[in-house]
A and B are shown apart, each in its own frame.
Chain A
Amino acid sequence: MSVLVYTESEKGKFKKSAFEVASYAYKVAQDLGTNVTAVAFNANDEASLGNYGVSKVLKISNDQLATFNAKAYADALTQAAEAEGAKVIILSSSADTKFLAPILTAKLSAGYVPNVVAAPDSTSPFVVKRTAFSNKGFAHTEISSDIKIIGVSNNAYGAMENNVSASVEDFNPSLGDSDFTTKSVEVDKVAGKVSIADADIVVSGGRGLKGPENWGMVEELADVLGAATACSKPVSDLGWRPHGEHVGQTGKPVASNLYIAIGISGAIQHLAGVSASKTKVVINNDPEAPFFKAADYGIVGDAFEVVPKLIEKLKEFKAQNA
């Protein structure tokens, strides 16, 4: 009857979102009067999950699962859920997790609610708050199925320390050829660059930057802040930046702690996509740009003058606070 949580790792190391979903699972388990069981695939340091409220870790060590495979991972999680008799399963909102979640949902005939931003409103009936209409609104959604799956938005609930001592048990799901009919051939990832989904800070550029040759200062600002780079839709449509950087309603959603928009006027679709970011800064030479109405801090000025100055000031700040 425990609450099951899928704790994602990369190259053996738990992702920040793993601690967030573990914390969320602990809250739900407390409300239901039960414990948290985590499932970890080829991860190191499983016992560290105890710091976030996990009582038991099902440790899967399997070379076939070294590369993410949605069907096989979903199958393994299904078997873990059945072994634990789990009625509530907590997931993150990463691209991989959103790939396996619907498969898991169908296998368990569960009710699945993604993009959840807060602890459940109530557990009987089971109601959670999630974003809807591409961040233009929220819905309070009841899950009435026997098994409930919740996808928690990154950076929404946060990681909370709850010291529990976690036992680690080996778990060997039985997997067959039918789990591997879709195979990874090649993964193309820029090494050492933080992704928009995992970033605490995102620096984003728009058409106001006039051309792809001017992105050097955006990259440099991102470097200083340890941030991910992003762009508006017109910029990706013009081919100035790769599509993977397009944020907004039809691109990626952003839920970072800090979002800095440079030369982006703030179309309604863009503002919706970035609205979950906690602090928004806009730099634009047009004081009438709609983004100023949606931002926390703003500078009206020429980006080509303001951004280099900001980089310089941030470097000074970092030197002082190092």
Chain B
Amino acid sequence: MLGDKSKKERNLLCMHNKFMNLIAIFEAINLKVPMKILVCISNVPDTTSKINFTEGDTKFDTNGVQFVINPNDEFGLTRAMWFKEKQGATVHVATVGGPQTEPTIRKALAIGADEAIRVNAEPADGFFVAKQLAEIVKNGGYDLVIAGRESIDYNGGMVPGILATLLDMNFVNTCIGLEVDGNTATALREIDGGKEKLSTSLPLVIGGQKGLVQESDLRIPNMRGIMMARQKALNVVEPVEASQPTQDQKFEKPAPKGQVKLVDADNVGELVNLLHNEAKVI
């Protein structure tokens, strides 16, 4: 077993050396085409927002709500910046939304994206949004599409997967780590109770989340970035025809919680009793 292992390692080292030589040759004759990345951005209420509904509970009440880049998308955008800085990738961002979403997409430009595209339509449902983005990806020839695993407002969690399938691209969901080398990609995916390493290839779509980069890696745009963002292209395109198979008819808020039942810290046995006899959960 040990012998096998060291043989494997030697082989790997040998392969690695050969590979590095190849890379050196490729770089010398400038054959490595940098990756083209599209990061899909959803414009969502800030995580601290209190959620209210209006117009007879048929609409989300945006009154007084601050909008931000969807957190799952922001982890992906930051990873895309890494690919830009380390591997020379080009990074575009796209969103489906009205003119009110432009401050959010400008923020993505200020963080470092090169160009932005806004599809001028309300994001009616996940299928509709995926169709719009598929059109952008098809026309833009992107190698890698990074979207969030879900938006924190409507939680559909379907846009990246539908988009990948419509365009016959590879797809990894709940992605918490991504390396790309040439045409090959290695992705880490969160599974229930652990993680899974996957090997795949470009063109690829991921549904990303925290883990792609850490919270501390997220960037706050600086003044220079904000100034530069004003010069960058924000292209507005009109939507393509697409069906909308789902419609939210009505919203409701969770029922208010009753008063908490306090148990004395010196009488912990009472909690066990309540959990067994009253709540019946143990």
Q: CB within 8 Å of B: which residues of A?
A: 70-71, 94-96, 98-99, 101-103, 105-107, 109-115, 127, 131-145, 181-190, 193-198, 200-201, 225, 233, 237, 243-244, 246, 249-251, 257-258, 267-269, 275, 278-279, 281-282, 292-302, 305-306, 309-310, 313-314, 316-317
B201 to chain A, nearest CB (A): 7
Contact pattern, B 34-75, Cβ under 8 Å of A = 1, otherwise 0? 000000000001011011010000001000000000011000
Specify which of B152, B193, B268, B272 lies most central, judged by the most chain A CB atoms within 10 Å of its CB. B193
Chief secondary structure at chain B's binding surface: mixed
Are B210 and A96 in touch, CB under 8 angstroms? no
Contact pattern, B 255-282, Cβ under 8 Å of A = 1, otherwise 0? 0011011111100110110111001011
Partner of A143, one of B171, B215, B246, B261: B246
* A182-B170 contact, Cβ under 8 Å, with A95-B191, A137-B251: yes
Are A106 and B263 in touch, CB under 8 angstroms? no
Specify which of A105, A145, A195, A302 lies most central, judged by the most chain B CB atoms within 10 Å of its CB. A105
- Judge whether B141 is part of the interface by a CB distance below 8 angstroms: no
- Judge whether B222 is part of the interface by a CB distance below 8 angstroms: no
Chief secondary structure at chain A's binding surface: mixed
- A313: which B residues are within 8 A, CB to CB? 268-269, 271-272
> CA separation between A275 and B253, bound complex, in Å?
12
* A98-B269 contact, Cβ under 8 Å, with A183-B200, A237-B216: no
Are B192 and A196 in touch, CB under 8 angstroms? yes
- B158: which A residues are within 8 A, CB to CB? 101-102, 105, 112, 114
A86 to chain B, nearest CB (A): 16
> CA separation between A301 and B243, bound complex, in Å?
55
Closest 8 CB pairs of A and B: A102-B161, A195-B193, A111-B245, A301-B265, A189-B194, A106-B165, A145-B245, A182-B200
Are B265 and A300 in touch, CB under 8 angstroms? yes
> CA separation between A299 and B153, bound complex, in Å?
33
Known: A133-B154, A298-B262. 17 other contacts (CB 8 A): A95-B191, A98-B173, A101-B157, A133-B60, A134-B155, A137-B53, A137-B254, A139-B249, A142-B246, A181-B200, A185-B199, A196-B192, A249-B47, A250-B71, A296-B258, A296-B260, A316-B269
> CA separation between A107 and B53, bound complex, in Å?
34
Can you report 20 residue pairs joining A to B where beta carbons are below 8 Å apart? A95-B190, A98-B174, A102-B165, A105-B162, A109-B245, A112-B246, A136-B50, A138-B254, A141-B249, A143-B245, A183-B199, A188-B194, A200-B281, A250-B152, A250-B210, A267-B48, A297-B261, A297-B274, A313-B269, A314-B272
